[in-house]
A and B are shown apart, each in its own frame.
Chain A
Amino acid sequence: MNKLIILNGTLLDEQTELSLNELCCACSRPAEWVIELVEEGALEPVEREPMRQLESQWRFTADSLQRARTAMRLQRDLNINMAGIALALDLLEEVETLQARLRRYEMSAED
């Protein structure tokens, strides 16, 4: 019988931070690409005291990964430029929030 091995991963929750390098690897993109997203305001590194704001020391929250992956797919699939990506990400987030609110209202209105 094969022994069942259960892998234990790391849950990337609100407290988890990712390094610039981890974010790059997870999106298969070079650091310059992530830096461009930050310059465009599409991603924001976690605030630190000014001393530590070297790019190589940037840290990102786990939901930056979601945004960066979406950015990567939008660029790859739809050929959108960085400014367009930043706009699309903000609009998508807004749509998400509105849809969640709509669902809540619809649920109480049903039946």
Chain B
Amino acid sequence: MDFKDYYEIIGIKKDASQTDIKRAYKKLARKYHPDVSKDANAEERFKELGEAYEVLKDPEKRAAYDQLGKNWKAGQDFNPPPNWDAGFEFNGGGFTGGDDADYSDFFESLFGHDFGSTRSAGQRGQQRRAYNARGEDHHAKVLIDIEDAYNGASRSITLQSPELDNTGHVINKQRTLNVKIPKGVKQGQRIRLGGQGSPGMGSAPAGDLYLVIEFKPHSLYRVEGHDVYLDLPITPWEAALGATVKVPTPGGPVDLKIAPNTPGGRKLRLKARGIPAKTPGDFYVTTQITLPPADDEKAQALYKKMQQELSYNPRSALGV
């Protein structure tokens, strides 16, 4: 297990005041909130911040954390010393919020279930509603390939959900579901699986499971809504003389007609070749004229011939 430097995570000095800690945390929390930040690591960063703040905002936890010693460096292999929290009086001020599952092993080893033994098990964690209550809805992400949106697919997903066992302890239960991804899904859309959320209390029904569709990045295509984009390299002669070229699409290759004198950067639309939803998206091709390298005599001779025989000045409109 790696040691975590909570001060470093929040970006403050070890002697920072509680106000400084709060201010620094709030600023970073806004910056890295997964709904706000486009940073790929935002979610991880936000969780880490939350954990660091959980410890540092609580004077008891902070003091306990501080006495671990100043010699630890972030990332060092760490095991809590025996009785490391002896001598601290924990009154369980109710500082720990959120789901246990969100915290790192490092946090759990220090402030996990045994920390502050006066804290009762029911005091935190899930709110348990009484009697007959519908189970909670769950939400999870499912990563798919663009091709899956064209053809439909099935994905197996593994979910971890905290549940209470017979003795009232929280255990992480794992289950695997095989889910059909219907043709025509788009980024951010949800699939609802009725009754696959938390079990209901008493005779009430179970909650639902919502799966949010997310596309894996693709080396060729980019997706926006139901539309798909591709950069298509073409030769100067294809651009100049016109041609019919093969174009890959996630639904299979198609023939595309390039009109004579097509400039680079021209956007061509293949209607209804995007994601095949009820209203199918379009497939957009942006032409990119690529030059054959002039690295042998034959190619150089051809370029020279053009130079001699074509009177073409692309800068004439610039007045030079």
For chain A, what secondary structure do more than half of its interface residues adopt (helix, strand, loop), or is it mixed? Answer: helix
Residues of chain A within 8 A of B177, CB atoms compared = 7
Q: Interface readout for B224-252 with A: 1 if CB under 8 Å, 0 if not? A: 10000101000000000000000000000
Segment 192-214 of B: residues with Cβ below 8 Å from A:
192-194, 196, 207-208, 210-211
> How many chain B residues have a CB neighbour from A under 8 Å?
44
Residue B179 interfacial (CB < 8 Å): yes
Contact flags B134-170 to A (C-beta < 8 A → 1, else 0)? 1011010000000000000010000000000000000
B229–A11 CB distance below 8 A: no
Residues of chain A contacted by B229 (CB below 8 angstroms): 104, 107
A53 within 8 A of B: no
CB distance B36 to A9 under 8 Å?
no
Q: How far is the CB of B125 from chain A (nearest CB, A)?
A: 14
A13→B231 CA distance, assembly (Å):
28
Contact status B136-A13, CB under 8 Å? no
- Among B26, B33, B277, residue most surrounded by chain A Cβ atoms (within 10 Å): B33
Name A35-90 residues within 8 Å CB distance of B.
62, 65-66, 69-70, 73-74, 77-78, 88
B286 at the interface (CB under 8 A from A): yes
**Interface residue B11 (Cβ < 8 Å from any Cβ of A):** no
Interface check B309, CB cutoff 8 A: no
Assess whether B134 is in contact with A6, with CB atoms less than 8 Å apart.
Answer: no
**Within 8 Å CB of A5, what residues of B?**
178
- B188 near A66 with CB under 8 A, answer yes
**Residues of chain B lying within 8 A (CB to CB) of residue A92:** 35-36
Give the interface size bracket for A toward B. 20 to 34
* Residues of A with C-beta under 8 A to B64: none
Cβ of B119 < 8 Å from any Cβ of A?
no
The answer, among B29, B185, B189, for a CB contact under 8 Å with A78, is: B29
**Selected contact of A25 from candidates B38, B137, B188, CB within 8 Å:** B137
Asked, given contacts A65-B190, A92-B35, whether A11 binds B185 with beta carbons under 8 Å apart, the answer is: yes
The distance in angstroms between the C-alpha atoms of A32 and B262, with both chains bound, is 58
Q: When A4-B178, A26-B210, A108-B265 are in contact, do A10 and B191 touch as well, CB less than 8 Å? A: yes
Closest residue of A by beta carbon distance from B213: A11
Q: Is B180 in contact with A9, judged by CB distance below 8 angstroms?
A: yes
For B286, give its contact among A9, A10, A73, A108 (CB under 8 Å).
A108
Any A CB within 8 A of the CB of B218: no
Interface flag for B96 (CB, 8 Å) = no
Q: Which residues of B contact A15 (CB under 8 A)?
A: 278
Q: Are B137 and A28 in contact (CB under 8 A)?
A: yes
Residues of A within 8 A of B134 (CB): 25
Q: How far is the CA of A84 from the CA of B224 in the complex (A)?
A: 28
Q: Closest Cβ of chain A: how far from B46's Cβ, in Å? A: 8
16 CB-based A-B contacts, threshold 8 Å: A4-B178, A5-B178, A7-B180, A7-B193, A7-B196, A9-B179, A11-B189, A15-B278, A26-B137, A66-B188, A73-B33, A74-B35, A77-B46, A78-B26, A107-B286, A111-B231
Residues of A within 8 A of B (CB): 4-15, 25-26, 28, 62, 65-66, 69-70, 73-74, 77-78, 88, 92, 99-100, 103-104, 107-108, 110-111
With A12-B190, A25-B208, A104-B229 given, can you name 15 additional A-B contacts, CB distance below 8 Å? A6-B154, A6-B180, A9-B194, A9-B211, A11-B185, A11-B191, A12-B192, A26-B208, A73-B34, A77-B33, A88-B36, A92-B35, A107-B231, A108-B286, A111-B231
Interface residues of B (CB under 8 A from A): 26, 29-30, 33-36, 38, 46, 50, 134, 136-137, 139, 154, 177-180, 182, 184-185, 188-194, 196, 207-208, 210-211, 222, 224, 229, 231, 265, 267, 277-278, 286, 288
The 10 closest A-B pairs by CB, nearest first: A9-B191, A9-B193, A12-B190, A6-B178, A10-B192, A70-B35, A26-B137, A6-B154, A7-B179, A8-B180
